[in-house]
């Protein structure tokens, strides 16, 4: 049994991304995992302001909801980052959440090349939806995920599900007309097989 924390970075309340997350969670629960979904629509998590107070042993100066999420982050075996594709990358809400990992980094006496501190390393996965469905649609998002989360923070990648062609936000969510909900269920169910 794994402890899975899903961070939902915006999107409509019953939109494509929420549905993708729900299907993933259903699969994970059916496989016996414990899950928690945090919607950043319902939380206030600001981006880092770079004051560096945290580098002088002080807690983050921003008194927003990130602090209350730290125990869940530290207890999770797997953090799933879920986001609609906004302007060809992850939503600003997810990006703000990731920036705040800065204040939970710890000193590392011998960091590997290109890393400066130690982060609470977990497994990670990426769930995304978009309107377009070209071969380049998710390129920037995947690149950011690989560089920032996997290579830099050091998370262990458990995979990604990129649901292109879910319709734009002018209309109703269209993900139920694709096979991505089924794929998300299977992804959740088999992620630790
Ligand atoms: C502000 C904004 C920016 C978007 N940018 C893109 C984009 O760059 N590429 C794309 O394919 N779809 C884009 N979309 C469409 C959404 O990614 C797509 O409809 C997504 O499935 C919406 O998720 P939701 O139903 O969970 O809200 C954008 C939508 C919005 C509202």
Res 94: pLDDT: 98
Average pLDDT value for residue range 80-88: 98
Residue nearest (by alpha carbon) to ligand 1 atom 9? 88
Atom of ligand 1 nearest to the CA of 163: 21
Q: Is the pLDDT of residue 71 over 90?
A: yes
Task: Locate all alpha helices (DSSP H) within the chain, ordered by sequence.
Answer: 16-30, 66-75, 92-99, 139-144, 180-190
Question: Does residue 85 line the site of ligand 1, with CB under 6 A?
Answer: yes
90 band by pLDDT with thresholds 50, 70 and 90:
very high
Q: What confidence tens digit (pLDDT) does each residue in 93-137 have?
A: 999 999 999 999 998 898 888 888 899 889 999 999 999 999 999
Are 175 and 129 in contact by the 8 Å Cβ rule? The answer is yes
Atom of ligand 1 nearest to the CA of 129: 21
Q: What confidence tens digit (pLDDT) does each residue in 36-53 have?
A: 999 999 999 999 999 999
Cα of 11 from ligand 1 centre, angstroms: 8
Res 116: pLDDT: 86
Are 86 and 140 in contact by the 8 Å Cβ rule? The answer is no
For domain 3-190, give the CATH number.
3.40.50.360
Res 3: pLDDT: 98
Mutate-to-test residue for ligand 1 from 11, 19, 81, 86, highest number of ligand atoms within 8 A of CB: 86
Res 164: pLDDT: 98
Overall pTM > 0.75: yes
Average pLDDT value for residue range 68-79: 97
Residue nearest (by alpha carbon) to ligand 1 atom 3? 86
Residue nearest (by alpha carbon) to ligand 1 atom 30? 86
For the chain, first and last CA: distance in Å? 11
Mutate-to-test residue for ligand 1 from 9, 37, 41, 130, highest number of ligand atoms within 8 A of CB: 130
Q: Which residue has the higher pLDDT, 109 or 181?
A: 181
Question: Does residue 173 line the site of ligand 1, with CB under 6 A?
Answer: yes
Q: Is the pLDDT of residue 76 over 90?
A: yes
Q: Which token pair is 125?
A: 């996965």
Res 124: pLDDT: 98
**What contacts 184, CB < 8 A, 6 or more positions away?**
20, 21, 23, 24, 27, 127, 161, 163
Instruction: Indicate the domain borders of the chain.
Output: 3-190
Please give the share of the chain, as a percent, with pLDDT higher than 70: 100
Q: What confidence tens digit (pLDDT) does each residue in 4-26 have?
A: 999 999 999 999 999 999 999 99
Question: Does residue 130 line the site of ligand 1, with CB under 6 A?
Answer: yes
Please give the share of the chain, as a percent, with pLDDT higher than 90: 91
Question: Does residue 83 line the site of ligand 1, with CB under 6 A?
Answer: no
Res 111: pLDDT: 86
157 band by pLDDT with thresholds 50, 70 and 90:
very high
């Amino acid at each position: 049994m794994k402890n899975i924390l899903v961070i939902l970075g915006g999107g409509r309340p019953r939109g494509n991304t929420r549905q993708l997350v729900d299907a993933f969670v259903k699969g994970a629960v059916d496989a016996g995992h414990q899950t928690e979904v945090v919607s950043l629509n319902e939380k206030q998590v600001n981006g880092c302001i770079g004051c560096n107070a945290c580098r002088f042993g002080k807690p983050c100066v921003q008194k927003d909801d990130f602090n209350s999420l730290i125990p869940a982050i530290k207890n999770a075996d797997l953090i799933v980052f879920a986001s609609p594709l906004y302007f060809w990358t992850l939503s600003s809400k997810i990006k703000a959440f990731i920036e705040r990992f800065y204040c939970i980094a710890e000193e590392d006496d011998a960091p590997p090349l290109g890393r400066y501190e130690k982060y609470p390393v977990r497994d990670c996965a990426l769930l995304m939806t978009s309107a377009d469905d070209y071969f380049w649609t998710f390129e920037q998002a995947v690149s950011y995920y690989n560089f920032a989360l996997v290579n830099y923070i050091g998370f262990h990648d458990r995979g990604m599900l990129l649901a292109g062609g879910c319709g734009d936000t002018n209309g109703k969510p269209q993900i139920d007309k694709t096979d991505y909900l089924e794929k998300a269920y299977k992804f959740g169910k088999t992620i630790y097989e």
